Structure 1
Amino acid sequence: MRSALALLFLCCTLYGQQLPLGKLPPGKVVMILQPHHDDHTTDYGMGGLIARFVDEGYEAYYVRASNDEKDGPHGQGRNDIVNLRESMEATRILGVKKVISLNWRNDYTGPIPLNELREQLILLIRKYRPDVVLGHDPWEHYQKNPDHRNVGRAMAEAYWLAGYANVH
């Protein structure tokens, strides 16, 4: 089965055709939960998927868990501002409706209680009511970056718990 799918992918790629994908249901909401401002492009290459959701009529919301103050050549305060602007510009090009920053410190989700991050995500999920949530694999034990692991786990738990009215 895998070899047949690989062959189909290879043939479609060689001939410049798209893989046969069905239409997505219109009028829905997709939420992208990422630890850092660049995770939707660099690590997982979700930019094309996000653009496809938007092209199919989905409203897209992008949530940055950290402020990325350590990522960049400037001081921490300036890095935060530059990275937010870059996030907003990149996601605007993709058609994202809104960027939401939770402003946790970069590489610092390990020391914070998971329930604090999870509570913030529960509130956002209840507010925007996404039909689809995209993020890091919550069970990716060998992921080197603790922010990816922790945000992924908080995302999975928040999506599940947001449906219970008596939680948070």
Structure 2
Amino acid sequence: MKLDILAIGAHPDDVELGCSGTLISEARRGKKVGIVDLTQGELGTRGTVETRYAEAAEAGRIIGVSVRENLKMRDGFFVNDEAHQLQLIRVLRRYRPDIVIGNILEDRHPDHGRAGNLIYDACFLSGLKQIKTAEDDGSEQEKWRPRYLFQYIQDRFYEPDLIVDVSHVWEERMASIKAYTTQFHSPAGTEGDATYISSPEFMEAVIARARLLGKRIGVPFAEGFLSKKNIGISSLDALVLQET
């Protein structure tokens, strides 16, 4: 299956917090969207591996993904080395996404930065013909390099290179996040030890950031992305002009 957009996260819920609104919007426009979680989030204080899988499946349903898989790298201990790069290169070559959206390159959680750099390196290396990979059936994969790689903003704030209006899918975006009832504050959430992300203030901050980014482009809510590659347009008609 070829995907138009592949979103990658170190943990189940990274993608939902970072770019679910964009994914929902693009899926509604007919784009094929997929999610790959690098780890099972097994070091999380709240919930279990089993509950994380169930929550990820429900979040994926809300988003409208065509595929979601978990690479089962070690939560907290995966590294950006050849073995992990090859594992991710196989995924990139299997789905051949035009756009990859991944973790930020440096953040409060060390897994986020490691994942971001792993994704960055794998996207480049996936385009090299001399790196050989194969599918499970032994067939050789062809090289593939996404046209664009964006990083979604996570805990620490960075000035975005690209801002996407998600106001029209805001309720669905928040529903995909709240599908992780063991992780975030929710009336229906699982009781357990308090964590950094389980407080009501964390969710308020998520909403506040979306409002801040939305204000930048004159809409109620938005998501921001970073890109090391310049973003080009073919004409000024591609610009969406907002009243200021």
Asked if TM exceeds 0.5, the reply is: yes
Measured after TM superposition, the shift of residue 28 of structure 1 is 5.7
CA contact (8 A) 1:63 1:100 kept: yes
User: Under a length normalisation based on structure 2, what TM-score does the superposition of the two structures give?
Assistant: 0.50
Which of 107, 110, 126 is 2:93 aligned to? Answer: 126
CA contact (8 A) 2:10 2:111 kept: yes
Alignment correspondent of 1:31? 6
SS in 2 for 1:137: coil
Measured after TM superposition, the shift of residue 88 of structure 1 is 1.2
Query: Residue 115 in 1 paired to residue 82 in 2?
Result: yes
SS in 1 for 2:127: coil
Counting matched residue pairs gives 131
CA gap of 1:28–1:121, structure 2 versus 1, over 3 A, is closer
CA contact (8 A) 1:114 1:150 kept: no
CA gap of 1:47–1:154, structure 2 versus 1, over 3 A, is same
Whole-angstrom CA distance in 1 between matches of 2:3 and 2:68: 17
Measured after TM superposition, the shift of residue 137 of structure 1 is 2.3
CA contact (8 A) 2:5 2:100 kept: yes
Whole-angstrom CA distance in 2 between matches of 1:113 and 1:56: 34
Output the aligned Cα RMSD. Answer: 1.7
Alignment correspondent of 1:64? 37
Measured after TM superposition, the shift of residue 65 of structure 1 is 0.5
Map Cα deviations across residues 75-130 of structure 1 (whole Å, 9 max, x no partner).
xxxx1111011111101111011111011222122xx4522221111111111000
Give the AA of the match of 1:80: V
Whole-angstrom CA distance in 1 between matches of 2:74 and 2:33: 24
Query: Residue 86 in 1 paired to residue 55 in 2?
Result: yes
Which of 98, 102, 108 is 2:71 aligned to? Answer: 102
SS in 2 for 1:102: strand
User: Under a length normalisation based on structure 1, what TM-score does the superposition of the two structures give?
Assistant: 0.72
Measured after TM superposition, the shift of residue 54 of structure 1 is 0.7
CA contact (8 A) 2:8 2:101 kept: yes
Percent identity between the aligned chains?
26
Query: Residue 164 in 1 paired to residue 121 in 2?
Result: no
Whole-angstrom CA distance in 1 between matches of 2:100 and 2:80: 22
Alignment correspondent of 1:147? 111
Whole-angstrom CA distance in 1 between matches of 2:112 and 2:46: 22
Query: Residue 73 in 1 paired to residue 50 in 2?
Result: no
Whole-angstrom CA distance in 1 between matches of 2:38 and 2:130: 25
